Amino acid sequence: MRLFLCLPLLLLCFNCLAQVKGLKEIALEHVNSGKYLEAIEFIKETEKLDLDSAENLLAIKLFCQYKTKQHKAARQTLNLIEELDVFEPESEIIRFYYQAEENKDEQLAEESLEFLETDPQQFYRQLKILNKKDIDFIARKIRRYLDTLEQEEIPEYKTALAVIYFADSNLIECYNMLSNCVEDYPLGFSYYMLGIIKTQHREYISAISYFNQAEDANYKPLSLYRDRSIAKGFDKDFKGAIEDLDICISNEPSDELYYLRAVSYTNLMQYDKALIDINTALSMNDTIAKYHNQKGIIYTNTLNYADAVISFQTAIQLNPNLKYINNNLGIALEKAGFKAKAFEYYKENIKKHPDHADSYFNLGRIAYEQSDYKQAIKLLQRANDLNPRYSDTQYLLGMAYIKSRNLSLGCFYLNMAKDNGNTSAESAISSYCEQKTEEETEE
């Protein structure tokens, strides 16, 4: 009697859940939490009840079986998906992997081309659900097959392989493939990938050019405008970056996009607009440390040091390892009049980021102001080694040497500062270095 009552009760539970949430949504909650075994058990219980919707969960079941390395069970689920013809992109890409295991290299290459020509962006996204070693395995299989073909036969296949390398984060091989075939097989997604690769290598002008070619080839997803805005920002084209971000925000606003636009507005010194955008980003998600850091930067630039300190402190609480956050907090504290406390944060930043020139400069500047010229020279020399283009470092280093009565090195760095556009260096050269030259002439 007890068993007889359990089935209606279980059915009732599933029906109640289904009313509150769809069964697929419940299964995906397990998946998104990384609870693949729980997702499989949930789907199995659904199947026992013979619910019509159970077949809609097969792709999720297959994915979870793949992730938990239940390959025999995964193949059985894949066969059932084929019988019921309920393929989804996730199941297609997992079937693609199992084909690679069966050494069907030619068929694998043909299907990769089919994926590419159907939707290259979706092909890339679905590849990303596979384990990295499995993507690499697929790439090796297709590469082996392509090595048997004549060069003129394979620009399309090479492009498909480039997408696989891109999903595998193997940007060198991706670039090698594309550089050999993009002219023969120009595809918008190919130019997009090249733009991403050039951005990664800090070749921003080339990156922007490739993104433009992708747009000209009618490849216009919002990700293109987002990524092009980032390249433009690094190239200091902040107005162009804002134009691209405006397109993204008008279509699919997100906290990240508002943050990126706030960064561009900050660089343009349009602090009112920057503050509006960063507040919007924080209203959507206040758990991201870099958002609070950016707000602190805006407040520092608008001389609102108390609020800047609060923002930087919040950022540190959320992520104490956020790059350069201790240096930023040190600057705000120093501006607010807490130089001793600022000194501690500059030193802490150097411990975490020993290659960050700004903290060495700030400590060197404080040492110079305290007339500790020996320590100032040591710190400023390190700052200049790390960033030889910052003229303020060279000016202060030159002055520290002059105060230490080393006019030769002092004038050397003052002239370097002048060449890099430092206006204060000119008067210092006039006061110290031209006088030295006159004395040498008289002798």
CA-closest candidate to residue 64, choices 102, 35, 105, 89: 35
Q: Within a 10 A sphere around the Cβ of 342, how many other Cβ atoms?
A: 23
Asked if 90 and 56 touch (Cβ cutoff 8 Å), the reply is no
Question: Which tokens in the block code for residue 302?
Answer: 């608008």
Output the pLDDT for position 173: 95
| E-assigned strand segments in 68-201 | none
Q: Report how far apart, in Å, the C-alpha atoms of 64 and of each of 28, 34, 74, 92 are.
A: 10, 9, 8, 14
Torsion of Cα atoms, 55 then 58 then 59 then 65, to 10°: 180
CATH of segment(s) 355-443: 1.25.40.10
Output the pLDDT for position 151: 67
Output the pLDDT for position 152: 64
For residue range 328-365, what is the model confidence (pLDDT) as tens digits?
999 999 999 999 999 999 999 999 999 999 999 999 99
Q: Which residues contact 197 (CB under 8 A, 6 or more apart)?
A: 171, 174, 175, 207
Sketch the domain layout of the chain as residue ranges.
355-443
CA–CA gap between residue 13 and residue 19 (Å, rounded): 10
Measured at the CA of 129, the angle between CA 126 and CA 133, to 5 degrees, comes to 115
Question: Which tokens in the block code for residue 129?
Answer: 């659900």
Question: Which tokens in the block code for residue 171?
Answer: 């940007």
3 state DSSP class of 233: helix
Question: Which tokens in the block code for residue 179?
Answer: 């550089």
CA–CA gap between residue 229 and residue 239 (Å, rounded): 9
CA–CA gap between residue 51 and residue 124 (Å, rounded): 33
| Maximum alpha-carbon separation in the chain | 118
CA–CA gap between residue 276 and residue 296 (Å, rounded): 13
DSSP secondary structure letters along 163-208: HHHHHTT-HHHHHHHHHHHTTTS--HHHHHHHHHHHHHTT-HHHHH
CA–CA gap between residue 134 and residue 15 (Å, rounded): 38
Low-confidence ranges of the chain (pLDDT < 70): 1-21, 50-53, 151-153, 435-443
Asked if 414 and 425 touch (Cβ cutoff 8 Å), the reply is yes
Asked if 345 and 330 touch (Cβ cutoff 8 Å), the reply is yes
Question: Which tokens in the block code for residue 80?
Answer: 């059932």
Output the pLDDT for position 21: 52
Question: Which tokens in the block code for residue 7?
Answer: 């089935």
CA–CA gap between residue 224 and residue 413 (Å, rounded): 44
CA–CA gap between residue 40 and residue 429 (Å, rounded): 76
pTM of the full predicted structure?
0.82
CA-closest candidate to residue 323, choices 310, 332, 312: 312
